[in-house]
Amino acid sequence: MQELDDVRIHFDTNGLLAMNIALAIVMFGVALGISTEDFKTLFKQPKLVFLGVLSQFVLLPLVTFLLVLLIKPQPSIALGMMMVAACPGGNISNFMTHMAKGNTALSVSLTAFATFLAMFFTPFNFQLYGNLYSPTAEILKTVELNPLELVRLVILILGIPLILGMLLRYYNNALADKISKLLKPISILVFITFILVAFYNNLDVFTGYVHHVFGIGILHNIIAILLGITVAKVFKVSFKNLKTLAIETGIQNSGLGLLLIFTFFEGLGGMAIMAAFWGIWHIVSGLLLATYWSKKT
């Protein structure tokens, strides 16, 4: 297990730049479907805004930290868990919420709002909990992780595409719809291709070490989903909104996590494998949950 912390996932500079661009385009495509009305509608339901932020940005990182203290995984795996928990909800959460017959409008609005907040919360939560746990704090000491550089990258990848996409929709709704229909499938396909190329170029690493994160990744994802359900039940929201909060909490933007890992940690083994496994597993768990909920009233 110790050698896992010495493993590095290889991803060259050109590949990293292309991955940056692909993720920004994915975010731009998502933003084309978001209007200022989504935010206005969301703020008419302040309770749901509060619960979304509480579940994703306050409780999930905290619960992840407590889980790390409990199970004491390899430090690089623990850092990967913290990275995933610090990221905002994933874009596919909107599709899964729709499939589960949840509140799709709320899902879209929460994704947009969470993406905006992630510019600040993602670096903050990752740095906070990464430094609170001494084994991961030791790794952070060996990495030149400039908090301002981390914030800058998140703003470039998430914030600017979000603003540009919403501006285009505001000034030319018809054009935004046309571009969105074309851009979404293409950009997501391109992004997935880069991930698959990274897998292929490091196949021996993934096959040799994925068993170390398999059980932890599944447990972490189940806890995230149950956390969303628990928050919804405690605050007595409708079943439709419960499904939305659970999916928004359980589906994380692991693509952003991978990008940050490749950029700042040179593909640190346990971190990259943890984030990559989460990216695969949360699609499986999300689809299973959405299918089950679509049949319940």
**Residue found under tokens 């990221």:** 87
Calculate ∠ Cα 256-259-261, nearest 5°.
110
What tens digit of pLDDT does each residue of 4-54 get? 666 666 665 566 677 777 778 877 877 787 777 766 776 777 888 889 889
Give the pLDDT score at 188: 66
Please give the average per-residue pLDDT across 255-273, as a whole number: 79
Give the pLDDT score at 118: 84
Asked if pLDDT for residue 64 goes beyond 90, the answer is: yes
Q: Tally the domains of the chain.
A: 1
Asked if pLDDT for residue 245 goes beyond 90, the answer is: yes
Asked if pLDDT for residue 1 goes beyond 70, the answer is: no
Asked if pLDDT for residue 95 goes beyond 80, the answer is: no
pLDDT higher for 46 or 190? 46
Closest C-alpha to 256, from 191, 177, 196? 191
Return d(Cα 263, Cα 160) in angstroms, integer: 19
pLDDT higher for 56 or 267? 56
Return d(Cα 202, Cα 292) in angstroms, integer: 35
What tens digit of pLDDT does each residue of 232-242 get? 999 999 998 99
**Residue found under tokens 């992004």:** 191
Give the pLDDT score at 28: 83
Nearest-10 crossing angle of helices 104-132, 13-31: 140
Return d(Cα 259, Cα 243) in angstroms, integer: 28
Give the pLDDT score at 297: 65
**Residue found under tokens 């897998």:** 199
Q: Which domain covers residue 101, as residue numbers?
A: 2-294
Give the pLDDT score at 88: 86
Give the pLDDT score at 10: 61
Asked if pLDDT for residue 2 goes beyond 60, the answer is: no
Give the pLDDT score at 193: 73
Closest C-alpha to 163, from 103, 119, 105? 119
% of the chain at pLDDT higher than 90: 28
Return d(Cα 188, Cα 88) in angstroms, integer: 17
Reading the block at residue 141, the tokens are: 């000491």
Give the pLDDT score at 271: 85
What tens digit of pLDDT does each residue of 123-150 get? 899 999 999 999 999 888 877 667 777 7
What tens digit of pLDDT does each residue of 150-168 get? 777 778 877 888 888 888 8
Residue type, 288: L
Give the pLDDT score at 83: 92
Calculate ∠ Cα 292-295-296, nearest 5°.
95
Contact 195, 279 (CB under 8 A): yes
* 3: confidence class by pLDDT, cuts 50, 70, 90: low
Which CATH number fits the domain that encloses residue 186? 1.20.1530.20
Q: List, in sequence order, every residue forming a beta bridge with 252; answer none if it has no partner.
A: 89
Asked if pLDDT for residue 182 goes beyond 70, the answer is: yes
